[in-house]
Chain A
Amino acid sequence: DQQVKQNSPSLSVQEGRISILNCDYTNSMFDYFLWYKKYPAEGPTFLISISSIKDKNEDGRFTVFLNKSAKHLSLHIVPSQPGDSAVYFCAASIREYGNKLVFGAGTILRVKS
């Protein structure tokens, strides 16, 4: 049973527009969430995170929103750039239980110029 789900395998967005990547989770004990970006032939790189005590975290063009009641988080990229084209993974953890991250299957983002 997948505890972290990214239901959209791919997303295509025009350069300059907003990209919205979604992630749902089932375990209400998750209290820390992360987004990673992965280019081909490279490992995942950390992008942004959010603790369950917040509902929004912003870093430049990237904003993560957390809706605990809906067990849903999303990553907004504004404005989208061609260099943002990559696979985006959502991950969740329970801090009390140590350093296990549970990942979603990823969403391929293509930003068209």
Chain B
Amino acid sequence: ETGVTQTPRHLVMGMTNKKSLKCEQHLGHNAMYWYKQSAKKPLELMFVYNFKEQTENNSVPSRFSPECPNSSHLFLHLHTLQPEDSALYLCASSRQSGGNIQYFGAGTRLSVL
């Protein structure tokens, strides 16, 4: 079993749909992250949670809504997305803050039609 599991792996949605991405980590970490990777661009940090509290929102549009019910689970709720939101969404976790190594899930490939 991988340390960080993301579901679904692929998602196609219309602009009026509401969907959620799920991330679960089995590493005992207390920090979790959402990243967006668009084609040929660097990974962009979206949100950071430390001990279930959001500590970073990197100017992400409100159509992306994160939720962290506990240190092991992280969700990204999606609604009224735009085609330019199509990308690979990656979840990561780490043991603590301050430059520690982040461990990534395999990502959800999202297509918005």
Contact = CB atoms under 8 A, between A and B. Distances in A.
Nearest to A98: B97
Interface stretch (A58-66, A73-81, A103-111): A103-111
A71 B97 CA distance: 24
Contact of A105 (B41, B55, B106, B107): B41
B42 A99 contact: no
B108 to A, nearest CB: 10
B43 A99 contact: no
B48 A46 contact: no
B48 A103 contact: no
B42 A43 contact: no
Nearest to A99: B97
B99 A93 contact: yes
Interface residues of A, number: 28
A100 B107 contact: no
B42 A103 contact: yes
Contacts of A106: 42
A104 B42 contact: yes
Contact of A43 (B55, B98, B107): B107
Nearest to B103: A46
A7 to B, nearest CB: 13
A89 B100 contact: no
Contact of A4 (B31, B42, B48, B98): B42
B104 A99 contact: no
Given A95-B99, A98-B98, A101-B43, 13 more contacts: A9-B40, A31-B99, A32-B99, A36-B104, A43-B104, A44-B43, A98-B55, A99-B31, A99-B99, A101-B45, A103-B42, A105-B42, A106-B42
